[in-house]
C-alpha cells in the first residue's frame, strides 16, 4: 500500500462529509419529487366531509369553502416542501462536490 493511499483523519472526515451530503441529497431529491407530485395531484380533501344523506346544518356553500380552504392548505404545504427540498439540494450538492473534489485531489497528489 503506498503512503498516499493510507487513510488519515482528514481523509476519513472528507469521506464522511461526502457520504452524509450524498444521503441528504438523495432524500431531498425524493422529497422534491414527492412534493411536486403532491402539488400537481393533491389528495382529496376530507376535512369537514359530511356523511351523505345526513343533515349537518352546514350549507353547501360552506362545504365548498371548506374544501377550497383544505385544498389551498395542501398546496401551500406542497410548495413549502418544494422550497425546503430545493434549498436542501442547493446546499448539500455543492458541499458534496467540493469535498469530493478534495478527496480526489488528495488521492492523485503525491505526498
Per residue in 66-94, pLDDT tens?
888 888 989 999 999 999 999 999 999 99
Domain-embedded: residue 51: no
Q: Is residue 90 part of a domain?
A: yes
Q: Does residue 75 lie within any of the structural domains?
A: yes
Q: Residue 49 pLDDT > 80, yes or no?
A: no
Angle at the Cα of 46 (from 27 to 84), degrees rounded to 5? 25
- Domain count for the chain, please give it: 1
- Whether this prediction's pTM lies above 0.85 is answered by no
Is 61 within a domain? yes
Q: Which domain holds residue 26?
A: 22-46+57-108
Residue 76 lies in a domain: yes
- Residue with the three cell numbers 414527492: 34
Distance CA 12, CA 18 (A): 10
Amino acid at each position: 500500500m503506498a503512503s498516499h493511499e493510507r487513510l488519515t483523519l482528514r481523509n476519513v472526515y472528507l469521506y464522511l462529509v461526502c457520504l452524509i451530503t450524498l444521503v441528504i441529497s438523495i432524500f431531498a431529491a425524493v422529497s422534491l419529487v414527492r412534493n411536486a407530485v403532491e402539488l400537481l395531484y393533491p389528495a382529496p380533501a376530507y376535512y369537514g366531509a359530511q356523511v351523505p344523506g345526513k343533515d349537518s346544518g352546514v350549507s353547501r356553500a360552506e362545504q365548498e369553502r371548506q374544501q377550497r380552504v383544505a385544498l389551498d392548505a395542501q398546496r401551500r404545504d406542497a410548495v413549502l416542501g418544494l422550497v425546503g427540498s430545493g434549498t436542501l439540494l442547493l446546499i448539500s450538492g455543492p458541499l458534496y462536490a467540493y469535498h469530493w473534489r478534495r478527496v480526489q485531489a488528495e488521492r492523485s497528489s503525491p505526498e
